Structures are given as C-alpha cells and as structure tokens.
Amino acid sequence: MFTIAVRVKPGASRTRVGGRFDGPHGPALVVAVHARAVDGRATEAARRALADACGVRPAAVSLRTGAASRDKLFRVDRPPAGLPELVSRLRDGSPP
C-alpha cells in the first residue's frame, strides 16, 4: 500500500497530473481535472487520472480522506515498483 497526497484542481480545460502544492498533508501532487466539483465527480476523475499516471488499474486507487476537500489522500493497493520515485518526479516537475 502506498499513500499519495493530492491537490485536486477541478474545472481545468484538460486533465493533467503534475506539479506541487504544499498542503495540509505535506507536499502534494497536483491533479487538474475537467470535471466540476459536484457530487464527487472531480474526486472520481482525479482518482482515475492518478491511476492512469501511476500505471495501475483505477480499482487499485481509493480515497482515504478528503471527500469534500481539494486536498486528498489516495491509497494505491499493490503499487508497482518505482511508484514513489514516479510520484516524486511528477510532483517536482521532472519528466516521467
């Protein structure tokens, strides 16, 4: 299991995973999604975008905390080798 702090930016023109936000859970990975923050749509879009960026199935990524917040913690079950390094590169702006 691996936990990722995420800052969700709903209403973006396109979905994008990358960038850093210093939030309440520490340095967070920025996930911009096209979906609006209505009825959990932005959270679901962020979960799917995060799964895609991490190279895992969407079912392997679940929300731990932050359902009604832009600052969230997601859990990745059975993370692939190298996931912590990939998340660090995405967060710090280096190419994957």
Tell whether the model's pLDDT for residue 52 goes beyond 90: yes
> Tens digit of pLDDT for each residue in 59-86?
999 999 999 999 999 999 988 899 999 9
Q: For 15-26, what is each residue's pLDDT tens digit?
A: 999 999 999 999
Q: What is the pTM of this model?
A: 0.90
Specify which residues 26 forms β-bridges with.
Answer: 23
**Strands 26-32, 16-23: pairing kind:** antiparallel
Per-residue pLDDT, 85:
92
Structure tokens at 20: 């850093």
Quick check: 34 pLDDT over 90? yes
pLDDT band at 94 (very low <50, low <70, confident <90, very high): low
Q: How far apart are CA 12 and CA 14, in angstroms?
A: 5
Domains of the chain: 2-92 (3.30.1200.10)
pLDDT at 93: 77
Q: What integer best gives the mean pLDDT of the chain?
A: 92
